A and B are shown apart, each in its own frame.
Chain A
Amino acid sequence: MGILEVKGVNKRFGGLQALGDVNLSVAENTVHAIIGPNGAGKSTLLNCLVGKLIPDTGSVMFDGKSVLGRTPYEINQMGISRVFQTPEIFGDLTVFENMVIPAFAKRDGAFRMHAFESVANEKDICIRAEQMLVDLNMQDKMRMHSASLSRGDKRRLEMAMCLLQEPRLLLLDEPTAGMARADTNNTIDLLKEIKEKRDITICIIEHDMHVVFSLADRITVLAQGTPLVEDAPENIRGNPKVREAYLGEAA
């Protein structure tokens, strides 16, 4: 029984069957990659996991509880954090303020009317935020406006914000899309480090095979809305069906 269990999920947009009978089981403390050609339904699947879309049929269970019908913030409070394809951060705020917000969300829940305390006096929150920035080697950018960060640093900040919440499941939507090789390698190193140091399950959607094969413990190949194969990385490479649907096309 995995931490995330997707069973018989269908999603249709008008005449397009975006997801057809998707079954997926993500084991705890592993890195599970979902790959597939464009239009395979990877993003639709991800959106069904975080409450942005509701599947037509099927069930999505996280840690034994259904996530269907819950809003994104409720699902986040259950322990699922999401990193977006283009970094979604609070661009008007400083890096430090960006880090403080998830710390409050983790401690105080979805809403708390703390209008008279001062942020600076919430020592435990500030210490956690600073510690996480030190962990990810960003402490020298703490007072910077987050909108002025480089693309790679924005990604790093978003990752830090998600990790600060100590999620049980981290969803990554093409974390290296549009990145230069050096930045991609940095992200791989960062994710490897996260995987080693923390008890965390990572579910990653990615186009870049280099990233997938250097990180994943298990890979699901999605084609035309249906899982084609699910196997260990070394078996995926040689699988003729996958070659045909995806790798062959690329080669």
Chain B
Amino acid sequence: MLGLDKKDATILLVVIALALLAPFLLNPFPSNSGLAQFNAGYPDLMQRFVIFGIFAIGFNILFGLTGYLSFGHAAFLGVGSYSAVWMFKLLSMNVLPAILLSIVIAGLFSVLIGYVSLRRSGIYFSILTLAFAQMSFNLAYSVLTPITNGETGLQLTLDDPRVLGQTATASGNIPATNVFGLEMRSTYTMDVGAWSFDFNAGYYLCAIIMILAFYLSLRIFRSPFGLMLRAVKSNQQRLNYTGLNPKPYTLAAFIISGMYAGLAGGLLASMDPLAGAERMQWTASGEVVLMTILGGAGTLIGPVLGAGFIKYFENIFSKINDNVLHQWFSFLPEGMEDTLVFLLHPFVGKGWHLTLGILFMLVVTFLPGGLVEGGQRLSRLFRRRSRDTDTTPDPEHHPKESPHVAE
């Protein structure tokens, strides 16, 4: 199917199902129950899941395949957002031209940064990208104020030209972002018994683009180009002496991942039309590194899982405060309740970073392949149990020795 083998087609179908059914899957708890705060199925958060999924998928093409760790990818995210907002200001509120421009500008930007940074490898490459990203951040924050509107951030106003659209709606408001008239914020809420599910136009646009982006990365992973990128990571010396020039391969990977980041930035601005310099800060670059490693660098689905995991923590875990904790443990005797809340307090609410950090350490220490490796180990455990009754040995685990080894 679509040039994929059976296994990859299955992965793609799983991703499609997860993306399209997310409004159901992320809202498992009835909306009036105490667990409703763990529901993540509201439009704003779902959009973030898939947008940062796109960001991480692109980052994984560079980091997962070539092993070049960029610490400056947020710069492309920010550039994408600024481009999109400018498109909303000047052209129209249709998101498609905005997203296209985001990809193109981020691509051009990554040619420049990539060309310079890729002259070095390893830690020096990381530092160069970090330096470029910080430069971009500072430019956006102060020097380029006419373009970026400095620390306030770039916003839409009522006197933007919007040559192909309208400057203001009939009611005197700033028009909303849309795809040929379908507004991104329009949401259909379906109530089923105690449950309530939101179907948001913006989310579905992002989800479809994420599926396309995932499909593209799947094809790249299985292509000769993808193989060369893995060869770059494995042994550049051998690659050189095999008649292949590693530089254009790594640069192409860098540009592709930069364009993915630009796409994510454009989508962020399309969902919420403003762009600020903080989107380019090094913490944002670090976040995508965490997402990719947490999910499993170099795996197909890992970055998406990692992005979802971190965004869930950021938005859901951070909302648990002392009151919520007191509610949970109200069945305990007074003293114990207070002690437990006191002990848990640093790990929730504003302390969600602490929990995430501990989880990250655990994953990196015990599952170097990320969440994906965890999944694989579980499935292997189950398969081994079912195989105990199976008498035929697995040929793959008993390779026949070639004669000259046996000599």
Residues in A lying within 8 Å of B, measured CB to CB: 50, 71-73, 76-77, 81-82, 84, 88-93, 97, 100-102, 104-106, 108-122, 137-138, 140-141, 143-144, 150, 152-153, 161, 165, 182, 186
B312 within 8 A of A: no
Docked pose: A158 CA to B238 CA in angstroms = 9
List 11 A–B pairs whose Cβ atoms lie within 8 Å, in order of A's numbering. Answer: A73-B239, A88-B238, A100-B224, A102-B242, A102-B243, A109-B243, A115-B219, A118-B5, A118-B223, A137-B403, A161-B238
Q: A76-B241, A141-B399 are in contact. Are A120 and B5 (CB under 8 A)?
A: yes
Closest CB of chain B to A75's CB: distance in Å?
Answer: 8
B302 within 8 A of A: no
Residues of A with C-beta under 8 A to B224: 100, 104, 108, 112, 114, 117, 119, 122
B226 within 8 A of A: yes
Q: A120-B5, A120-B222, A143-B396 are in contact. Are A101 and B252 (CB under 8 A)?
A: no
B113 within 8 A of A: no
B402 within 8 A of A: yes
Contact with A along B247-276 (1 / 0, CB 8 A): 011001000100000000000000000000
Q: Is the CB of B404 within 8 A of A110?
A: no
B4, B222, B224, B235, most chain A CB atoms within 10 A? B224
Contact of A72 among B235, B240, B256, B405 (CB under 8 A): B240
B209 within 8 A of A: no
Pairs of residues from A and B, 8 with the lowest C-beta to C-beta distance, nearest first: A76-B243, A115-B225, A90-B234, A92-B234, A105-B243, A110-B245, A88-B238, A111-B248
Residues of A with C-beta under 8 A to B225: 112-115
Residues of A with C-beta under 8 A to B227: 93, 97, 100-101, 104, 119
Q: A115-B219, A115-B220 are in contact. Are A72 and B241 (CB under 8 A)?
A: yes
Docked pose: A71 CA to B244 CA in angstroms = 10
Chain A, residue nearest B238 (CB):
A88
Q: Is the CB of B223 within 8 A of A115?
A: yes
Closest CB of chain B to A167's CB: distance in Å?
Answer: 9
B181 within 8 A of A: no
Docked pose: A105 CA to B240 CA in angstroms = 10
B400 within 8 A of A: yes
Q: Is the CB of B241 within 8 A of A82?
A: yes
Contact of B402 among A71, A72, A93, A140 (CB under 8 A): A140
B353 within 8 A of A: no
Closest CB of chain A to B19's CB: distance in Å?
Answer: 22
Docked pose: A88 CA to B237 CA in angstroms = 8
Q: Is the CB of B399 within 8 A of A140?
A: yes
Q: A111-B249, A115-B223 are in contact. Are A101 and B235 (CB under 8 A)?
A: no
Chain A, residue nearest B67 (CB):
A92
Closest CB of chain A to B110's CB: distance in Å?
Answer: 16
Residues of A with C-beta under 8 A to B5: 118, 120
Q: A88-B241, A106-B243 are in contact. Are A114 and B231 (CB under 8 A)?
A: no
8 additional contacts, CB 8 Å, given A88-B241, A90-B234?
A71-B245, A88-B235, A91-B235, A105-B243, A110-B244, A111-B249, A165-B242, A186-B404
A50, A111, A137, most chain B CB atoms within 10 A? A111
Chain A, residue nearest B244 (CB):
A105
Closest CB of chain A to B369's CB: distance in Å?
Answer: 13
B193 within 8 A of A: no
Closest CB of chain B to A119's CB: distance in Å?
Answer: 6
Q: Is the CB of A73 within 8 A of B237?
A: no
Chain B, residue nearest A87 (CB):
B238
Closest CB of chain B to A88's CB: distance in Å?
Answer: 4
B279 within 8 A of A: no
Q: Is the CB of B405 within 8 A of A150?
A: yes
Contact with A along B163-180 (1 / 0, CB 8 A): 000000000000000000
Q: A104-B224, A140-B402 are in contact. Are A110 and B243 (CB under 8 A)?
A: yes
Residues of B with C-beta under 8 A to A112: 224-225
Q: A90-B234, A93-B231, A137-B402 are in contact. Are A115 and B226 (CB under 8 A)?
A: yes
A91, A117, A138, A152, most chain B CB atoms within 10 A? A117
Chain B, residue nearest A138 (CB):
B402
Contact of B405 among A90, A121, A153 (CB under 8 A): A153
Docked pose: A100 CA to B242 CA in angstroms = 11
Contact of A92 among B222, B230, B239, B248 (CB under 8 A): B230
Residues of B with C-beta under 8 A to A117: 223-224
B288 within 8 A of A: no
Docked pose: A127 CA to B69 CA in angstroms = 35
Q: Is the CB of A91 within 8 A of B234?
A: yes
Contact of B407 among A71, A81, A118, A182 (CB under 8 A): A182
Residues of A with C-beta under 8 A to B241: 50, 72-73, 76, 81-82, 84, 88
Q: Is the CB of A101 within 8 A of B228?
A: yes
Docked pose: A97 CA to B235 CA in angstroms = 13
Residues of A with C-beta under 8 A to B222: 118-120
Closest CB of chain B to A226's CB: distance in Å?
Answer: 27
Q: Is the CB of B223 within 8 A of A101?
A: no
Residues of B with C-beta under 8 A to A144: 399
Docked pose: A152 CA to B406 CA in angstroms = 12
B326 within 8 A of A: no
Q: Is the CB of A101 within 8 A of B220?
A: no
Q: A88-B237, A120-B5 are in contact. Are A101 and B244 (CB under 8 A)?
A: yes
B335 within 8 A of A: no
Residues of A with C-beta under 8 A to B252: 113, 115
